[in-house]
Amino acid sequence: MGTLVGHVAPGFAFMLLGFWHLFNHIKLHVQQPSSYVSSPWFSTSKIKYLELYFIMLGSSISVSMELFIGPERHQPFDPDGTIPSNHLHNFEHSSISLTFFVYAAFAIILDIVNPKARYALTQSLASLAFGQQLFLFHLHSADHMGVEGQYHLLLQIAIVVSLLTTILGINYPRSFIISFIRSASILYQGLWLVIMGFMLWTPSLIPKGCFINFEEDHDVVRCEGHEALSRAKSLVNIQFSWSLIAVTIFVMSVYLGLVKFYGEKVEYSTLSSKAMLEEDSDDVESPNSDQVGDTKRFIHMGRSFVPIDIER
């Protein structure tokens, strides 16, 4: 991170992951409303662990960029083996990525070794990953007072929602709304990271009265005075509000669209099954209908028969 690409790339990864979860949770709930059970990750038809491989690959790339590709000497340490101040944020970001890598790796191992116990343990690992993310962004070594700090402060709100819903999901795996909000919060994390990347490292998008200044080997947005800084933070708050509204409209539209699409399929399938059962029952009863009718007529005639007294 610390650059446009460093925010936009992981942002798109979070957005893709959040949408993947949103789509699958809605589809699963629509198709199985009475037996819905949440899942910490979703497999694909061709590659079962594709989602987890994606997380591991993205995390590996992030760690490599932060520690070995991004630094000028292609390694984050000083010649004496210590961590320089300008690389502290690299270690913070890479620690977040490493935690998500650990989550994905153990999710695969747990599914192979003990599938029955994988849900709670995998959700716990996901909670740890979000908790680590919140911890490091809250105590970030970057500037907390400037415009970048305001972006990170608001990012923590989305992380808190992801963390709380993941923890709640451990005890409430059948709650669709918990899974729905968690998926939306992950998607929003990604969107906010993308917004951060463009708004903080695109000169034409810097707020009025502020500028990009190169400090400690990375660009930082600085403002000319308190009034310009307050205005810039207010603009960040407005961006957060508008992007939250946009995500709300998007996720609700996805929900309604999938309910209509998969709901109609489920209803059609149910009606077809009922029709087939009725046809089968008719086929079973039809051969015996004549016999039953004959039997009833025979019984009726038998009852109406009056014996004749021959002796008289």
> Are 147 and 233 spatial neighbours (Cβ–Cβ below 8 Å)?
yes
Q: Which two tokens stand for residue 113?
A: 């070794």
C-alpha span between 195 and 14 (Å, rounded): 13
Residue in 156, 235, 245 with CA at minimum distance from that of residue 199: 235
- pLDDT score at 128: 97
Angle between helix 176-201 and helix 147-171 axes, rounded to 10 deg: 160
**What is the per-residue pLDDT for 15?**
98
pLDDT score for 305: 41
Compute how many other C-beta atoms are within 10 angstroms of the C-beta atom of residue 246. Answer: 12
CA distances from residue 310 to 12, 69, 307 in whole angstroms, order as listed: 103, 119, 9
pLDDT of residue 260: 94
Residues 177 and 147: their CA atoms lie apart, in Å, by 33
> Burial, 88: exposed, middle or buried (Cβ in 10 Å; 0-12, 13-18, 19+)?
middle
Residue 137, token pair as written in the block: 């962004």
Residue 88 has a pLDDT of 87
Instruction: Give the global pTM.
Output: 0.83
Chunked mean pLDDT (size 10), the chain, 312 residues: 85 98 97 94 94 97 90 80 85 95 97 88 97 93 82 96 97 96 98 96 94 83 94 97 98 97 67 52 49 44 43 36
Residues 105-142, buried b or exposed e (16+ Cβ, 10 A)?
Answer: ebbbebbeeeeeebbebbbbbbbbbbbbbbbbbeebeb
Question: How much is the pLDDT for 118?
Answer: 87
Q: Are 79 and 31 in contact (CB under 8 A)?
A: no
